[in-house]
Structure 1
C-alpha cells in the first residue's frame, strides 16, 4: 500500500470518523450544558473506565489479527479469534456482574450503581464486533466500516435528543403519558449511557454478514501462537488509557478537597479534557488505516523510509491541530462554558493535554518496531513504567495543583513513553526519522502558543479591540506556520497525491 492509498483510506476512515466523533463530542458537550460539573462527574467517570475495559476484553486480538493474517489461513484465524473473544466476553461480563458492587465502590459510583450496569453492557456489545470490524479493515473495506460507525453515532445522538427534548418535556407536561413515562428525572445524565448501550447493540445487526461467515471452529495451536504475541498488547493498549483511568482514580484517593469539591474538579477536568479531542480523533482515525498498512508494508523494500515519511506527515498534521486548538481557546470556551462558566476555569490545561496527545500519537507510530520484531513485552514494560510515573506524579501534584497537576502528569507520562520507545526502537529496528526537524516543528508551535498567550494576557478582555487582536494574532501565527511548512517541505508536498501539483516547480527550459 502506497502513501497515496494510505491517505485515501485514512480519508475513508477519517471523514466519517471525524463527523461521528464530532457528533459524539457535541453530545458530551450537551451533557456539560445540561448538567453542572457535579452532575457531569458520573458521566466523566464512566467514560474513563469504558476504554480500560475495552482493552481488557479484547486483549490485543485486533492487532494480532492484522499480524497473523499476513502468513496464516485467514478464515481459520477469523474463526479461532471469534470463538476466543465470544467465550471470554461472556466470561468477563459474568465476572463483572458478580463483582459489580466492589467495582462500583472502586470507581466511586456508589451514588449511581445503575450506571455501572449499563457500562458493562456497552463493553459487552462493543467487544463482540471487534474481530468482524477488524476484518473489514484488514480486507480494506473502509466504506462499510465507516457506515457502521456513522450509524452507531447517529442512533446514539438521536436517542439522546429524544430523551431530553421529547420525553423530558412530555413528562413535564404530563408525567402519565406514554412519552412522559419514558423519562425519569433521577436518571439524568444516565440517559447518555443508555443511548450508548442501545446504539452499540444495534451495530451487531449491521454485521450480520460477517457473523454468518463465521464458523465455530477453534485451532488451539494457532490460538496459543496468537496469545503469545497478543497478551503483552493488553498492557500496551493501556498506554492511551492509563491517564484517563488512573488520573481520575488517583484523584479521588489523594485529593484533600471535600467530596463535593472533588467531584466538581473532576467534572471541570473531564470537560476540558474533551477539548483535546481533535488530536485524539486524528490519532484514532490514523491508526485505523495505519496499523494494517504498517504490517502490509513491512515486507516491502524501503519500509523503514516509508515509516519515516508517514511519521513526518503525522507530526505536521498534529502541529496544525495543536495550533487550531491552542490559539483559539476563547472560541472553544463557548462550547463548554456557555451555560456553566465554571467549566472555563480549567481552560489552561487544554494546550498541555493537547501536546500530551501528540506525544501519545508519536508513541503509537513508534510502536511499529516492537510489533514487527515480536517484542511486544517491551512495549508492555514501557506502558507499566508510564503508569508508575502517572501514579507518582498524581500523588505528588494533585494535592498541590488539583487537575492542573493531573494534566502535567499526563504530559510527563506520554513524553517518557515516546522518548524511551524512540531510543529502544532505534536499537532494535532503526528507522530514519527526521528527528531534528520534527522536534523543531513541535518547539515552534509551542513557542507560538506561549507568545500568543502573552499577547492575550496583556490585553483588556473587556475592551472593544480584544477579540480582534486575539483572533488576529492567532490567525497570523497559524498562517506563518503554514508558510514555513510549505517552504521547508515543498519537495515532500509535491510528491503527495491530489495536492502535489500545487507545489511542483515549473519545468525549466
Structure 2
C-alpha cells in the first residue's frame, strides 16, 4: 500500500472516531435549542469553552512529546511511554484535589453554579487520564481500537442525553414521588449535559485503563526533563489555540451587558456549530497526519509528499466550504430549528473560512515539528491569540458576536501566513501555491456569491458547486490516478 493510501485509510478511521464525537454536538443542537433556550445554551457553551482550555493545561503538550520521543528514542519506547503516563497521572490527581478544595471560590469568581464547576473539574480529570492511552493507540497504529472506544463514548453520551431530556420527564410524570421524579431537574436542565459527559468519560477511562497496567509507571527523570522541554512550547501553543477556539464565548459573556450576554453567547454558539463541518474534516486529517509527519520525516521525498498533502487538503476543504454555504438554509432548519437563533447565521461563512485556514496551518506546521523547533509553533500561536484577544476586546462592544467571528478569521489567517513564511526560510517545502491559492479563491468567491449576492438561492448555489467540482476533476484527474496507482 502506498504511503498516500495508508494515510487516507488511517485518516478515514481516525476521522470517523473524531467526526462522531463532534457530530454528537451537532446532532444534539436541535434538542438543546428546543429544551434549554438561548440563556441556558449560552451557559453550556461558555463552560465548555473553559473545558477546552482546561484540556490543554492538563495534557501540557505531553501527547506530542510522546509521539516525538518514541520515534527519537526507539530503544527506550517502553520507558518513554511509562514516563509520560506517570507524569500526566500525577499532575491530574494533584490538579483535581486542589481545584475541588477551592470549588466554591472558583464558582463565585467565574459566575457559575458550584455544581457546574464540580462537573467540569471531574470531566477534565477523566479526559486527561485517557489522553496517553489514546496516544498509545495512535502511535502503535491501532486506529480501529481507537475508533471503537471513541464511538462507544459517543453512544453513551448520546443515549444519556436522550434519556435525560426525552425519557426522564415522562417517567417522572407517570410515577409521582418515585426516584425518577427526585432526579428530574427543571430550572437547571443544562446540568444533564455535564452529567452525561461525566458518565461517558468515566466509562471510557475504565475501558482504556488496562493500558495503565501494560505501560506501567516507570519514570525516568532524564527523559521527563527532555519531554517537558519539548512539550512546553506545545503547551504554550495549545493555550493560544484554546484562546483562538473558545475565548470568544468567554469574552462575550463578560464583555456584553449582563442581561443579554448569555443569550448572545447562545445564538452565537449554536450558529458556530454550522462551521463544525470544516473542523471535523481538519481535525480528522490532523490526527492522521501528525504521526505520518514524524514517521516519514527522514524519507528522501518527504518535502514533496508534504506539499502534495497540503494541496489536496486545501482542495477538499475548499469543497466543504462551498458545499456548506450553498446548502446552509437546509442545514439551519435541521440543526437549529428555532428561528430565534438564526440572527447569527451571518457568522457561518466567516467561521468556515477561519477553520479552513487553521487546517492549512496545521499542514504547514510540519516544518517546526520535524525539525524540533516547536518554539516557533508557540510564537505563531501566541501571535494568533493576541490577534484574537485584541480584536475581540475592540469589536465585541461594537458589533457583538460578529466581531468574534472576524477575530477568529484574522487570527487563523495570520497564523497560516506567518507559518508559511517562516517555514520556507527554515524547511522549504515546494508547495503548489498557484493551485492552492486558485482553488481557495474560487471557493471563497463562489461562497460569497451564493451567500451574500444570491441570498442562498439553491439552484444558483448548486450550479456554482457543480462548476467548482468539475474544475477540480478536470485539473486533478491525472495526478490522482498517479497517486492511487503507487
TM-score range, shorter chain: over 0.9
In the alignment, which residue of structure 2 is the partner of 1:127?
A: 128
In the alignment, which residue of structure 2 is the partner of 1:463?
A: none
Query: TM (normalized to structure 2)?
Result: 0.96
In the alignment, which residue of structure 2 is the partner of 1:491?
A: 478
Q: Which has the higher contact order (CA 8 A, sep 6+)?
A: 2
In the alignment, which residue of structure 2 is the partner of 1:461?
A: none
Query: Map of 1:92-103 to 2, 5 A cutoff?
Result: 92-103=95-106
With over 3 angstroms needed to count, the CA separation of the structure-2 counterparts of 1:389 and 1:101, relative to structure 1, is farther
For 1:101 and 1:136, how far apart are their aligned partners in 2? Answer: 37
For 2:314 and 2:109, how far apart are their aligned partners in 1? Answer: 37
Displacement of 1:376: 1.3
Displacement of 1:180: 2.4
Displacement of 1:494: 1.1
In the alignment, which residue of structure 2 is the partner of 1:254?
A: 255
Query: Map of 1:172-183 to 2, 5 A cutoff?
Result: 172-183=173-184
2:467 aligned counterpart, secondary structure:
helix
Displacement of 1:96: 2.2
Displacement of 1:128: 0.5
| Superposed CA offset, 1:255-291 (max 9, x none) | 3xx3121111111111011111111111111111111
Q: Structure 1: which 5+ runs fail to align?
A: 458-468, 502-509
In the alignment, which residue of structure 2 is the partner of 1:244?
A: 245
For 2:29 and 2:331, how far apart are their aligned partners in 1? Answer: 14
Task: Please say if 1:481 is aligned against 2:479.
Answer: no
For 1:190 and 1:305, how far apart are their aligned partners in 2? Answer: 50
Q: In the comparison of the two structures, how many residue pairs are matched?
A: 483
In the alignment, which residue of structure 1 is the partner of 2:366?
A: 368
In the alignment, which residue of structure 2 is the partner of 1:507?
A: none
| Superposed CA offset, 1:84-141 (max 9, x none) | 00000011222322343443345442xx221111011111011101111101001110
Displacement of 1:455: 4.5
In the alignment, which residue of structure 1 is the partner of 2:451?
A: 453
For 2:29 and 2:449, how far apart are their aligned partners in 1? Answer: 31
Q: Structure 2: which 5+ runs fail to align?
A: none
Contact kept, 8 Å, 1:32 with 1:336, in 2: the verdict is no
| Superposed CA offset, 1:368-411 (max 9, x none) | 11111221112111111111111111111111111001100111
In the alignment, which residue of structure 2 is the partner of 1:383?
A: 381
Task: Please say if 1:406 is aligned against 2:409.
Answer: no
Contact kept, 8 Å, 1:49 with 1:245, in 2: the verdict is yes
177-186 or 442-451, which deviates more: 177-186
In the alignment, which residue of structure 2 is the partner of 1:334?
A: 333
For 2:296 and 2:110, how far apart are their aligned partners in 1? Answer: 42
In the alignment, which residue of structure 1 is the partner of 2:344?
A: 346
| Superposed CA offset, 1:48-75 (max 9, x none) | 1111111100011111111111132111
Contact kept, 8 Å, 1:68 with 1:226, in 2: the verdict is yes
Displacement of 1:240: 3.3
For 1:402 and 1:24, how far apart are their aligned partners in 2? Answer: 24
Bigger fraction of residues in helix = 2
1:267 aligned counterpart, secondary structure:
helix
Task: Please say if 1:77 is aligned against 2:80.
Answer: yes
130-139 or 245-254, which deviates more: 245-254
1:241 aligned counterpart, secondary structure:
helix
For 2:320 and 2:97, how far apart are their aligned partners in 1? Answer: 42
In the alignment, which residue of structure 2 is the partner of 1:314?
A: 313
Displacement of 1:239: 4.3
Task: Please say if 1:203 is aligned against 2:204.
Answer: yes
1:185 aligned counterpart, secondary structure:
coil
